[in-house]
Structure 1
């Protein structure tokens, strides 16, 4: 083929290449973006130096690998700002919430995830192992995560009220609560069973110092909360999660963080 024919060939093929490239970009652009909110709530969302890990980010990744109609992305928020952010539609949904955690007056759809968890009371050995130690917690120094809802304090989250009505100290997350207890900065802390199991699995040398009581602060069934203007309908989300369940992907993610479906 002579060089003089190159312009003619390029003139023919360049529009075709542009068309194919355009179709590929259009396919990507036509994906429906679905935003998933999350805040520091280990093991569901774990904040570390590399970003965000945990159950929710792994679910977002699994949903994106599952299908091509939607593009799921994680949007960080904070435990206290999540209500306003949800109301303003900063994200379409939240995984692993409870409708009882201050959402009663917020418009939403609720999709049960059939995942059980709860906060169990822990203390330090040997004193916490004494009979009746967890019976009267009014006289114990409580380590609570700022912004979390606990039954023991009537689901109150106002820091001033908590410090006035209880011997409470507020910490930024569940790991800080456990480590504050180990440093004897408190007597008792209600911590999620799943994170406690994960933490002790990562730090087995600390297990011998922690006494896990048989008393629960609360047990709950997790759900997804979906905004009324969400870009994915409740029924479609339920279908996708059902696919993750049938493929075993959902169970694999949960098992990694000591969780299971009922």
Structure 2
């Protein structure tokens, strides 16, 4: 029995509508973003915690469009390069091309966000800002795997221990405690982290002296694999959308992270 033209047309229409219903979910490109412990940006991602600024940024990116689905993939500060080269992650966010990416094929996108790495010591009678002008003879507490400008971005633990009398940990809290307990003279922390730490630990606010000197300005970039599902230009446009609608300011301003005017491409 032949189908009537009307029945055939209705069937095709239903099939087309069904395809349209399914397409948006299927067509969203999956973009895997490396999440390495780097507080306050990313906090213990291997524990499945959704705290930190990176999860907030990813949520805002996903909310603002439907072409891409950004997902977090836990990695670590030292392991992220290998994960990137092997294609386990497509992007690393809050990075800098100076931090070991030079020999790895990548595209970078200026995120227009600025933070700083600063020096912190115990506040003592008579101690002024000139205490931070020389690191010679001082015991440093550093975050393992970080690239510091004072050490020419050499993150090798043995080099830092030998040349800078450095103790390396995986916790800014531990490093600040070492300073408070007199086990280290200076800790280096991100300005955003120190601001958050002092909000959480108001009782030690008057015991710590933060430097006006910065070790480096964190000018944040996104690092993308050349074959990533999203291009640098497309990602830059998504960030611009969040800049325009105030989402970047909402996420980063509470941590004293500067949201700069749109970067020039």
TM superposition score normalised by structure 1: 0.87
Q: How does 1:1-262 map to 2 (within 5 A)?
A: 24-47=21-44, 51-126=49-124, 129-130=127-128, 132-262=130-260
Q: How many residues align?
A: 250
- The answer (yes or no) to whether the contact 1:40–1:173 under 8 Å persists in 2 is no
Unmatched 5+ stretches in structure 1: 1-15
- The answer (yes or no) to whether the contact 2:113–2:220 under 8 Å persists in 1 is yes
- The answer (yes or no) to whether the contact 1:142–1:187 under 8 Å persists in 2 is yes
- In 2, distance between residues paired with 1:104 and 1:237? 21
- Aligned-residue offset at 1:56: 1.1
Unmatched 5+ stretches in structure 2: 1-12, 261-265
**For residues 131 and 191 of structure 1, do their structure 2 counterparts lie closer, same or farther at Cα, with a shift above 3 Å needed?**
closer
Q: CA RMSD in A?
A: 2.5
- Aligned-residue offset at 1:95: 1.4
- Aligned-residue offset at 1:184: 2.3
**For residues 175 and 22 of structure 1, do their structure 2 counterparts lie closer, same or farther at Cα, with a shift above 3 Å needed?**
farther
- In 2, distance between residues paired with 1:27 and 1:248? 26
Deviations 1:135-169 (A, max 9, x none): 32120000000000012222221112221222110
Helix, strand or coil: the match of 1:84?
Answer: helix
- The answer (yes or no) to whether the contact 1:34–1:92 under 8 Å persists in 2 is yes
- Aligned-residue offset at 1:17: 9.5
- Aligned-residue offset at 1:57: 0.8
**For residues 148 and 17 of structure 1, do their structure 2 counterparts lie closer, same or farther at Cα, with a shift above 3 Å needed?**
same
- The answer (yes or no) to whether the contact 2:113–2:259 under 8 Å persists in 1 is yes
- In 1, distance between residues paired with 2:180 and 2:147? 22
- In 1, distance between residues paired with 2:51 and 2:63? 17
Stretch moving more, 176-185 or 228-237: 176-185
- In 2, distance between residues paired with 1:247 and 1:28? 24
- In 2, distance between residues paired with 1:73 and 1:227? 15
- In 2, distance between residues paired with 1:255 and 1:166? 33
- The answer (yes or no) to whether the contact 1:108–1:225 under 8 Å persists in 2 is yes
